[in-house]
Amino acid sequence: MRSLRGDLMKWLLGALGFGSLVLVMVAYVVTLGEMNEVLDENLKEVAEAVAQYHASAQVSAKPTPTKSGEKSDDDGDLVSLVWQRDGTPIFSSNPRFALRFTDVPGPGRFEVAGEEWRTYTVVLSDTVVQAAQRTTARHQMAVESASKLFIPLVALILLLAGLIVVALRRGMRPWNEATGQIARRSAISLEPIASENMPREMQPLVGAFNELMQRLSNAFSMQRRFVADAAHELRRLG
């Protein structure tokens, strides 16, 4: 047997769960967009700082690169590179990643081994400096940021579920009262249900029931009159 309270609970909790998922997805998209803006600006600052450092001749023309088996501090999430204008590599903060040479200044994107990188390039008179970061790193950071909403949302859903249960119990009280009044009615007790304190949503149902009680009362009255008249005629004829 279906339960109105159960149906309402399923729909309300389903709506809350769906809304929470949408909120997490929106938080992820918004966080990723803001993160891209901030980190793109960070790439620009890194590239310009490396370019300024190189141009000021505070580093040698060919600094010692990181060994191919060595892991850099940023683990490849942020890489800075320096090339000569003809594309000859001079320096890489993490030579494990063979990034594409480009002499087009400004922001850019390209793929290396199936991974997308976002870059910022600074072109000097004799060198090209580039700062690059994997896009997956940004997605991971956005996921971590959005996932922090998960536990508060679960707690909120549980809290709202408890409030919904209490609200449904209070909201179903008029139905229980009406059910009790109907159960007390009989063929000799056809009084209408008091509808003054009933919720507006229950007024049509209570009104229909009271009309039924009135029709039954009229029918019983007619039946009693008919029986009385018939008995009177029988006595008269006898």
Per DSSP (E only), the strands in the chain are 78-84, 89-92, 106-112, 115-123, 127-134
pTM of the predicted model as reported, rounded to 2 decimal places: 0.53
pLDDT averaged over consecutive 10-residue blocks of the chain (238 residues)? 72 82 85 84 87 65 41 59 87 82 86 83 88 85 81 82 82 76 71 74 80 81 83 75
- Taking each continuous run of H as one helix and of E as one strand, the counts in the chain are 5, 5
- Residue 238's pLDDT is 63
- Residue 88's pLDDT is 87
- Residue 61's pLDDT is 43
Q: C-alpha angle 191/212/219, rounded to 5°?
A: 85
User: 3-state DSSP call for residue 37?
Assistant: helix
Check if the beta carbon of residue 147 is closer than 8 Å to that of residue 28.
Answer: no
The C-alpha atoms of residue 119 and residue 170 are separated, in whole angstroms, by 60
- Residue 64's pLDDT is 41
- Residue 159's pLDDT is 87
- Residue 74's pLDDT is 44
- Residue 126's pLDDT is 84
- Residue 2's pLDDT is 62
